[in-house]
């Protein structure tokens, strides 16, 4: 068990550029979550996958954001036309399907800075 991994760890981009982040969950975990954490705040839920199906999306996820989880394994989060307000830590978490109880394991995050 190597834990949840995320790539890249840091990304600096200019406003208007597109960026894509990758998350590799723990291998047997079929649930995958994306959260966003801004400075001084706790993480906020963005979206959720069960296997390859995206089942939940937060209203925080504007149409510039898109997430995929092909084949129910790794996931990508893409932000198009980045804005300075997108600067944050993007965290991925995975868990086993145990009904309403969910023990989520987090990756190290990708810190995005939009200049």
Partner 1 sequence: AQSVTQLGSHVSVSEGALVLLRCNYSSSVPPYLFWYVQYPNQGLQLLLKYTSAATLVKGINGFEAEFKKSETSFHLTKPSAHMSDAAEYFCAVSDWTGTASKLTFGTGTRLQVTL
- The one segment of 14-22, 33-41, 63-71, 72-80 that binds partner 1 by CB under 8 A: 33-41
Whether the Cβ atoms of residue 75 and residue 22 lie closer than 8 Å to each other = yes
Closest distance to partner 1 from the beta carbon of 14 (Å): 22
74 contacts partner 1 (rule: CB under 8 A):
no
Closest alpha carbon to 81 in 60, 66, 69, 71: 66
41 contacts partner 1 (rule: CB under 8 A):
yes
| Alpha-carbon distances, residue 68 vs 1, 47, 97, 104 (angstroms) | 23, 10, 19, 19
Residues that bind partner 1 (CB under 8 A): 4, 6, 31, 33, 35, 40-45, 48, 50, 55-56, 91, 93, 95, 100-109, 111
């Amino acid at each position: 068990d190597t834990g949840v991994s995320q790539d890249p760890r840091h990304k600096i981009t200019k406003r208007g550029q597109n960026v894509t982040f990758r998350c590799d969950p723990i291998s047997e975990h079929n649930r995958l979550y994306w959260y966003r954490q801004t400075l001084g705040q706790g993480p906020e839920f963005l979206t959720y996958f069960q296997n390859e199906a995206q089942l939940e999306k937060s209203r925080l996820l504007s149409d510039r954001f898109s997430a995929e989880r092909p084949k129910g394994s790794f996931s990508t989060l893409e932000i198009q036309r980045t804005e300075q307000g997108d600067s944050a830590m993007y965290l991925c978490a995975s868990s086993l399907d145990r009904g309403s109880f969910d023990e989520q394991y987090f990756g190290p995050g990708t810190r995005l800075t939009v200049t």
